[in-house]
Structure 1
Amino acid sequence: MESNYHTLKRTDNHLIMITHLAQLLTYITGFGGLIVPLIIWATQKDRVDGLNAHGKAIINFQLSIIVYVIISIFLIPLFLIGFIPLLLIGILAFVMPIINAIKASNGELPSYPLSLNFVS
């Protein structure tokens, strides 16, 4: 008799919410905002209903933030305007995980503006 255990997924909005909030670790450790959600997504995406979509959105957002920061850093010596995008990126990277954690706790899908599609 085959087991269907691997196909059963549990509902865990709290874990999804924590995955969104884990992005804020970047402000504490400097790098945890990508690594921790990536680990949660990679290990739980097949076990938690909805985590795959949320995890992909988080990873795409974090990788996009990294790309935008690198571009902004290169703009600083060239045009001295790189500081403005860096400030806006910092605000966006802080606010959007909180907004999407609230959405996740309500069972809604995340929405991260300006995300490039690295993982689909």
Structure 2
Amino acid sequence: MEKVNLEEKFKMFHDHWHPRIVGELNGQLVKLAKLKGEFIWHSHKDEDEMFMIIKGKLKIEFRDKMVELSENELFIVPRGVEHKPIAEEEVHVMLFEPASTKHTGEEEHELTQNQQERI
């Protein structure tokens, strides 16, 4: 059992769209990621995905609307819902999702990172 300092963990990496695992509870992984630019359209057939904004602003585009998130806000994307995260400036996010969740769902892309390291 160790506490996790988010600021220290975010200083450990600089790349974008490559989540790092910082904890696990009840089959859920707690991940940190830095986002910048546009991600790809994807969905997670069987898993919900939670985005919590630590720093910056994130847009999540859906086929019928756009959700804008600021620091200290979170949003849960329901399973099966196609979405595309967009970060105009660098954003620091915490993600909560089941350990079985594939990074880009069934989509394969150069941004896909299914082998995520623990930090």
TM-score, with structure 2 as normaliser:
0.25
The structure whose residues are more often helix, as a share, is: 1
Please tell me whether Structure 1 or Structure 2 has the larger radius of gyration of its CA atoms.
1
Higher strand residue share: 2
